Amino acid sequence: MTEAGIAVVVVIVVACVVAYVALRARRGGGDAAPVAMDDAVVGEPVPVETSPARALSQKITWTQQFEPRSGTLDDAARLKLIHDLEMLRAPWCVELLQQAVAEEPTAANREAAERAIRRIRLARSS
């Protein structure tokens, strides 16, 4: 490869790096706060305080036990969370899934949570 060819490759690589950094800076410049590495670690769920008035307006609280900042999740997102909890198989996942069974408005999500509880218990007993 000639010196001109090497120079072109270097220019392209530098341009890609600059574009990547600029794109990341643009995405991070919104309302979202940067996430620290400790925030990404899955730990014990945080209890959500529910008053009777809040319980009436928001029937699904189990998702906020897992991630308080989650807000309102649609059926598909809650189903994915149920499957993720099943994969984690931590002892606290069973309690959270039991709450999901009690609160889930959709039969498919309730059934998925019940299956997840059975599978976690079966895996832990083996």
7-54 pLDDT tens trace: 666 667 666 666 666 666 666 544 444 445 454 455 666 655 554 444
Q: What is the pLDDT of residue 27?
A: 64
pLDDT tens for 86-106 read: 999 888 899 999 999 999 999
The CA–CA distances, whole Å, from 66 to 29, 79, 89, 107 equal 27, 13, 14, 21
Average pLDDT over the chain, rounded to an integer? 75
Domain boundaries, the chain: 1-34, 42-125
Q: What is the pLDDT of residue 101?
A: 95
- pTM score over 0.75: no
Q: Is 85 within 8 Å of 116 (Cβ atoms)? A: yes
List the structure tokens of 124: 């832990």
